[in-house]
Every structure is written in C-alpha cells, then in structure tokens.
Amino acid sequence: MAVVRSTLAALMLFAAPGIAGAEGQGASLGHQLAVGWVAPFVLLLLYIALLPLIVPHWWESNLNKGIISALFGLPVVVYIFALDGHRLIETGIEYVTFIVLLTALFIISGGIYLRGSLMGTPSMNTAVLGTGAILANVVGTTGASMLLVRPILRANEQRRHKVHILVFFIFVVSNIGGLLTPLGDPPLFLGFLRGVPFEWTLRLVPHWLLMNTALLVIFYVWDQRCFHAEGVADPAALP
C-alpha cells in the first residue's frame, strides 16, 4: 500500500535526527524521549481504527496486521537501541514474561467450561459483572474474561439489545476489575517483577470500589431500560 510506504518513509526521517542526537550524547537513557515520539503510537491507533473500515479484506490478514505493527514499532526500537541496547534487551525480556503470563491465563481459563441456566436479566448480568470484577484479581482480567464471557453471552442469546453488555463486560471484568493485585493486570505483574510490593495495589481499594460501583450502576440502569424495551414479560422465558 502506498500510504503504508509513505508513512514508513516519514517515520524513518523522523527517527534519524533523534538517533544522531542520541549517539552524540553517549546513548544515555537519561535523555528523555521527546513528545514527538508518541507519534508512532498515535498513528498505530489510527491505523487500527481506520484500516478495518477502509480496506476490510486486507486487514483480515494477521500478516498485514503484523506489518503495520512492525512499521510503527521499528523507529522506536531503533532509537531506543541507539540510546541503550541493554535496556532494549531488558524490555524485551519483560515483554516475553508479559506474554507468557497472558498465554498461561488464556489457556488455563479457556479450558474451563461453565454450564448453568442463567437468565439474561439486568440483575443477573450485573451480578456476573460484579463477580468478574472480584475474580479478576485472582485469575487475572484475561482469566476472568475467558471464564465468564461465554456464560454471559449464552444467558443473553435471546436478547435483542445486548451489545452494551459486552462493552461493559470489557470495562469491568477485562480492565478495571483487576486493579487490586499484580495477578489482576499483567502490567501490574511487571511492576511486581521490578520490585513493587505485591500488596501495594491494595491501597487502591477505594478507587476500585468507586469505579466498579459507578459502572455497575450505570450498566444496570441501561440494561434495565433495554430489557423493558424488548417487552419481556416473563424473565423465565429467557434461556
């Protein structure tokens, strides 16, 4: 794609002055990255948001997604390597640790199949999200998401308005819920590996309660309105 090649050329031109400056300063990471170095990340987000709309078939290929990721990651990698190659290797090891944790949580929790007769009512959906927020601190947000996403989807299979359920599920179970322990969110786990005390995040309990309570209340009100709009007279009619 011409636009991809043009972006790569622009990024390499953008990276060149920074690399030369880094070499002149002894390649020290004490030299902070300029604000402009956020550009590759911003552009990556824009491409992720726009390419599925502009070239949906091209974006379906994982190879093409990898090319885009490498395209925007390469200038940053080259620049940091010029500053401090040892730090780049350390970061790579941390990233591998991060991926190993995610993979383990994904495989273990993905192999657990929960069966039951949950009804997709607002109160039941809210209870599942609240349970997931707590569980996320034990088995991680990835583990809790893999464990509960299928039951909540099955429970709401017959609902007409259900997109919001998955959106709030991502907010509560897949993100904010795992705030309290390094096991909850892999980035917190990386902090633990670098010396942050395991119990440090427990001081965030008030923030955890505030955010999750607010989201659950908003979700319940929203889901209640959608539920009544569907005209379900008897919740028992749901699977």
Q: Give the mean pLDDT of 39-48.
A: 89
- On whether both 36 and 139 belong to a single domain, the answer is no
Q: Give the mean pLDDT of 138-165.
A: 88
- On whether both 79 and 148 belong to a single domain, the answer is no
- On whether both 126 and 233 belong to a single domain, the answer is yes
Domain of residue 179 covers: 122-237
- On whether both 79 and 184 belong to a single domain, the answer is no
What pLDDT score does 232 carry?
Answer: 63
> How far is residue 125's CA from residue 128's CA, in Å, rounded to a whole number?
5
CA atoms within 13 A on the CB side of 135: 19
- On whether both 133 and 230 belong to a single domain, the answer is yes
Residue 210: inside a domain, yes or no? yes
Helical spans, DSSP H, in the chain: 2-24, 39-54, 56-59, 62-83, 85-110, 122-155, 163-172, 186-193, 205-229
- On whether both 57 and 160 belong to a single domain, the answer is no
Across the chain, mean pLDDT equals 81
Top pLDDT among 10 and 211 is at 211
- On whether both 127 and 176 belong to a single domain, the answer is yes
Do 151 and 113 touch, CB atoms closer than 8 A?
no
Residue 113: inside a domain, yes or no? no
Ordered DSSP codes for 145-180: HHHHHHHHHHHTTT-SS-HHHHHHHHHHTTTGGGGS
Residue 99: inside a domain, yes or no? no
Do 83 and 21 touch, CB atoms closer than 8 A?
no
What's the structural domain count of the chain?
2
Residue 129: inside a domain, yes or no? yes
Top pLDDT among 168 and 157 is at 168
Q: CB neighbours (10 Å) of residue 147?
A: 22
- On whether both 75 and 166 belong to a single domain, the answer is no
Residue 17: inside a domain, yes or no? yes
Residue 109: inside a domain, yes or no? no
- On whether both 215 and 141 belong to a single domain, the answer is yes
- On whether both 148 and 224 belong to a single domain, the answer is yes
Confidence of residue 33 (pLDDT cuts 50, 70, 90): low
- On whether both 134 and 228 belong to a single domain, the answer is yes
- On whether both 73 and 145 belong to a single domain, the answer is no
Residue 96: inside a domain, yes or no? no
Residue 211: inside a domain, yes or no? yes
pLDDT, tens digit, 9 for 90 and up, residues 108-127: 777 777 777 788 899 999 99
Q: What is the pTM of this model?
A: 0.66
